[in-house]
Amino acid sequence: MSAPDNDRRLLGSEFPDDQGDDDPRLRAALTAYAAAREPHERRALFPACLEALGVSRLLVPVVAVLGEVEVGDDGLARDKSSDMAAVLLTGRDGRTALLSFTHTASMQAWDPEARPVPVRAQLAAQAALQEGAAALLVDVAGPTRLVVEGVDLEGLARGWRLARVGEQTAWVRD
């Protein structure tokens, strides 16, 4: 018996053999970005980070969140449930960001209990927008933190290509 098209299905990972290592191209772009000393240098290197992200796998952490707690007549918890959830971080300015990591060591430095879910950066950006987040925060625990927001978050989420014209960059639909 086949399942109807509208049934929910668990899909296998797009990265079944993923060992949790970072993408060399993304690591090189982030390392150059981190080494830049002047703001204009960082701005000039940011597009290379976005280009590398566009073809990279990220790890989105999921953590256990306490669900319902049933309390007995004696006031003690009898039954607990928990759910797994992706993590949104709220900044000092009140905006939220979906956390993501380039490799397991960075994620474990942030929270050793978190479980990695490997996804394309495009899917992580889509999830950030669906959750109402203002940004996708990559490697909050280092070694290089990157914030993708605004038009860059939207371009990444839509799978657009970053094009360069001279010193300017723009997202282009393919």
The contacts of residue 100 (CB under 8 Å, 6+ apart) are 58, 59, 60, 61, 121, 124, 136, 137, 138, 139
Q: Looking at residues 72-90, what average pLDDT do you find?
A: 70
> How do residues 95-113 score in pLDDT, each as one tens digit?
999 999 999 999 999 999 8
| 142 torsion bin: left (phi>0), alpha (psi -120 to 50), beta (else) | left
pLDDT digits (tens, 9 = 90+) for 114-144: 999 999 999 999 999 999 999 999 999 889 9
Reported pTM: 0.80
DSSP string, 33-91: HHH--SHHHHHHHHHHHHHHHTT-EEEEEEEEEEEEEEE-TTS-EEEEEEEEEE-EEE-
Confidence tier at 22 by pLDDT (50, 70, 90):
confident
